[in-house]
Amino acid sequence: MGVQVPPGAPLVNRQRHPVKVPARLLLLALGFLLSACSPWRVEQFEETIQHGTQDEIIQAFGYPQRLRRLDNGDRVWEYDFVGKGARCAQYVVVFDQEGNVRSWKRLDCR
């Protein structure tokens, strides 16, 4: 059964209105997306993983696109960076059980 409307009650037309997003928010999002593709971001990532920890890498670059745990307890994180001309670099970072970088390598994306 539907909702009972008393006789003579005004009907309300509930139309959906598009969500208005402030221009500043759109510019901020666009800037973030463009910065994710810049060469300096790849250089910054390589500098961070030289001596960084999991927490520092998450704070600077967010969570990885892929992650898994090895049998010995180490964690493997994979990040992809896409640059100009659709060039792509994939980073595979291995962390020990304390969250420190054990090793890393750069690959061409598949």
Instruction: Give the number of other CB atoms < 10 A from CB of residue 38.
Output: 13
Going by the DSSP 8-state scheme, the letter that residue 9 receives in this structure is P
| Fold topology of 23-108 | Beta-lactamase Inhibitory Protein; Chain:B, domain 1 (3.30.1450)
Instruction: Give whichever of 9-13, 33-37, 102-106 has the largest mean pLDDT.
Output: 102-106
Its pTM stands at 0.60
Of 89, 68, 70, whose CA–CA distance to 80 is shortest?
89
Residues 40, 26: Cα–Cα separation, whole Å: 22
Residue 38 banded pLDDT, cuts 50, 70, 90 = low
For 44-96, write each residue's pLDDT tens digit. Answer: 888 888 888 999 999 988 999 999 999 999 999 999 887 666 678 889 999 99
